[in-house]
Amino acid sequence: MIRFDIITLFPELFDKHLSNLPFKRAIQANKIEVNLINLRDFAIDKRGTVDDKPYGGGTGMLLRVEPIFDALESIAKTNPQDRAKPRVISTTPTGKKWNQKLAQDFKNTNHIVIICGRYEGMDARVEEHLVTDKISVGDYILSGGELPALVIMESIVRLIPGVLEKETALAEESFNDNSLEYPQYTRPEEYKGWKVPQTLLSGNHEEIRRWRQQRKIKP
């Protein structure tokens, strides 16, 4: 089983996703456990403060280090028998670019913690002292780390044996052999004059295999 602990200011953003596939099947089959940790539960005061202005000036606010540290401490206390330290991910544009190879790597991890950034980011001491992996899901800006966390989680979860209904599909999916999947078609055979390639209708499995292989795209 993989345990996911997600530290976030908006745990409600995960609810709909976790109640649908592939997460739903993985949770029901005890393949994964997902714990949503509200960072405001570890606020520094009764007003729920978890952020502050950056030293030296600048636009926006940063998540403070103390609430994140305390949230991580609470995770450790809930699973004291787990001697192996979890992999702690921060979602950040300065991190390593997430890809299928990394998803395969993380699939073999028992415990993953993801810290979802917000505002202008978080105090740099979080990544300097508390994080094991800095991950980026692309060269663009989002309002927070919740969507990247879901991207990371889903790409891992769907690789776990028994989660996908048709596991044989994994072998032919994009990126598994460093290429993008070939074009695919379904009924109707012709629509507005747009026809399905004749090779796919031939019933010749070897010709179809070659056609697909030739049309794979190298990213």
Tokens encoding 34: 């997902």
Alpha helix ranges (H) inside 81-214: 100-107, 124-129, 146-157, 169-172, 198-201, 205-214
Chain-centroid distance of CA 18 in Å reads: 12
**Homologous superfamily in CATH for domain 177-214:** tRNA(m1g37)methyltransferase, domain 2 (1.10.1270.20)
Chain-centroid distance of CA 87 in Å reads: 13
In this chain, the answer to whether the domains covering 2-157 and 177-214 adopt an identical fold is no
The backbone torsions φ and ψ at residue 93, rounded to the nearest 5 degrees and listed phi first, read: -65, -15
Asked which of 70-79, 92-101, 159-168, 193-202 is least confident by mean pLDDT, the reply is: 159-168
Question: Which CATH number, 3.90.1720.10, 3.40.50.720, 3.40.1280.10, 3.30.530.20, labels domain 2-157?
Answer: 3.40.1280.10
Q: Quick: pLDDT tens for 74-102.
A: 999 887 666 568 999 999 988 999 999 99
Q: Quick: pLDDT tens for 15-44.
A: 999 999 999 999 999 999 999 999 999 999
User: Where do the structural domains in the chain lie, given as residue ranges?
Assistant: 2-157, 177-214
